[in-house]
């Protein structure tokens, strides 16, 4: 079982070495209450499989969708989710906080 981020980065390396396309999402900033601390990782492969967490479940779905674009384009991007943002409201960061997530491809 993957209980911490260390296992997750090892899994990212294993996935990439097995020839899977992989993106790493990292929480780079939080405002207010946020369920996962800065530095937390979520990894995503080209099929949409993912491991780890950046929000305790609230925005993972949206991050996975963006990660697939990042894998496709090869360009990193920064996403923000929060209650002030209509999109984020829809995906629902129930804790009322705001988070920024950096998503990058493994190349």
Partner 1 sequence: MKLALLAELNAERQARRAAVLATDTASGEARLIRAAELAGAPLNGSALGEAVADALRKGRSGTVEVDGKALFLTVYVPPVKVVITGAVHISQALAPMLRQVGFDLTIIDPRTAFATPERFPGERVLAEWPETVLPGLAIDAYTAFVALTHDPKIDDPGLEAALRAGCFYIGALGSRKTHAGRVARLMQRGFSEVEIGRIHAPVGLDIGAISPAEIAVSVLAEIIGTLRQPT
Residues that bind partner 1 (CB under 8 A): 3-4, 6, 9-10, 12-13, 16-17, 24, 26, 28-29, 37-39, 75-76, 78, 102, 104-107
Closest CB 98 distance from partner 1, rounded Å: 15
Nearer to partner 1, 60 or 104 (CB): 104
The secondary structure of the chain in percent helix, strand, coil, rounded to multiples of 5, reads 30, 30, 40
The answer to whether the CB of 99 falls within 8 A of the CB of 79 is no
The single residue listed with the structure tokens 């493994």 is 106
Closest CB 25 distance from partner 1, rounded Å: 12
């Amino acid at each position: 079982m993957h209980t911490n981020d260390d296992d997750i980065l090892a899994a990212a390396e294993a996935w990439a070495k097995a020839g899977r396309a992989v993106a790493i999402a990292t929480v780079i900033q939080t405002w207010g209450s946020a369920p996962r601390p800065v530095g937390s990782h979520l990894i995503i492969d080209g099929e949409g499989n993912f491991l780890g967490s950046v929000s305790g479940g609230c925005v993972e779905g949206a991050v996975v969708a963006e990660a697939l674009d990042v894998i496709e384009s090869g360009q990193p991007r920064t996403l923000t989710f929060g209650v002030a943002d209509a999109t984020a409201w829809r995906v629902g960061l129930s804790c009322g906080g705001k988070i920024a997530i950096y998503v990058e491809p493994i190349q």
